[in-house]
Structure 1
Amino acid sequence: MNRWGSAVVGFAGLTLPHDLLDGMRLEDVYTPAERLRSGAGRSLQHWAGRLAAKRAVLRLLGVPPTAEHLAQVEVLPRPTAACARTAACHDGHPPVVRLGPALAARTDQRIRLSLSHTSGRALAVAVASAGLPEDLQDFSEGGDA
């Protein structure tokens, strides 16, 4: 496992989320919760940011970015205590990574993400770290972030 991984996804000139995937199917790369969050009136930069995050995590783990592996990395916003704890909340929240069982077995550390966008690119950096106190807080009651 690497100490960090990064990825850039270009979306300038593209119009649809599947244009980002080099022939892979949307349903094979993004989880149902990710499709719900990215598809609800969001721009292509949200799809690209989520894809960049997934690729950065896979680079961190030393795993190739196949559709199967991408689907095992779920990137969703983590609600905060100030959030209404509903899926309808559109305030900015730090991303949280959930790994499928096969990828989770590759690390015992938490994966932190940083995402950024320009007008045509999305950048993500994934870093492995020890657990932090906020990792023990559960803000997910009452809705799916």
Structure 2
Amino acid sequence: MSRWGSAMVAFAGLTRPQDLLDGMRIEDVYTPAERLRSGAGRSLQHWAGRLAAKQAVLRLLGVPPTAEHLVQVEVLPRPTAACARTAACNDGHPPFVRLGPALAARIDQRIRLSLSHTSGRALAMAVASAGLPEDGDA
């Protein structure tokens, strides 16, 4: 395992989330909550950003980006006190990572994510760090 991982996903010229996945099925890469959050009128950059984040986390963990591993990395917005922790909040929030049991056993630290987009690329950086007081129970 490394202390950080990064990934970039190009989406310029693509039109569908499936185009990002090199033949993998959406259901095999994104969790139901991620599909709900990335769908409903969101642009392709949301799908690409989430995929870049998943790939960055897997690089941090030293795990190949197969569908089996990608779906075990769930990337969702971290709720804040201002939104009362509801899924209906549409404000921007920092990304939060939840790992499936097999991947969670590989790390005993928090994973922090930073995401950025250009008009045709999504970039993610994942860093392993100690927990902070503001982490709460998330």
The answer (yes or no) to whether the contact 1:3–1:128 under 8 Å persists in 2 is yes
**CA–CA distance in structure 2, aligned partners of residues 123 and 29 of structure 1:** 18
Aligned length: 138
Q: Deviations over 1:96-140 (max 9, x none)?
A: 00000000000000000000000000000000000001xxxxxxx
Q: TM-score, normalised by structure 2?
A: 0.95
Give the direction of change, closer, same or farther, for the CA distance of 1:144–1:30 in structure 2 (3 Å limit).
farther
> Where in structure 2 are there 5+ consecutive unaligned residues?
none
> Where in structure 1 are there 5+ consecutive unaligned residues?
134-140
Q: State the superposition RMSD in angstroms.
A: 2.8
Q: CA deviation at 1:87?
A: 1.7
Q: CA deviation at 1:84?
A: 3.8
Q: Deviations over 1:9-35 (max 9, x none)?
A: 000000000000000000000000000
Q: CA deviation at 1:144?
A: 14
Q: Quote the residue 1:144 is aligned against.
A: 137
Helix, strand or coil at the partner of 1:55: helix
Q: Deviations over 1:37-77 (max 9, x none)?
A: 00021000000000000000000000000000000000000
Runs of 4+ in 1 over 6 A off after TM superposition: 141-145
Identity rate, percent: 91
**CA–CA distance in structure 2, aligned partners of residues 118 and 142 of structure 1:** 29
Helix, strand or coil at the partner of 2:82: coil
Q: CA deviation at 1:88?
A: 1.8
**CA–CA distance in structure 2, aligned partners of residues 102 and 51 of structure 1:** 19
Give the direction of change, closer, same or farther, for the CA distance of 1:143–1:43 in structure 2 (3 Å limit).
farther
Q: TM-score, normalised by structure 1?
A: 0.91
**CA–CA distance in structure 1, aligned partners of residues 122 and 15 of structure 2:** 15
Give the direction of change, closer, same or farther, for the CA distance of 1:143–1:86 in structure 2 (3 Å limit).
farther
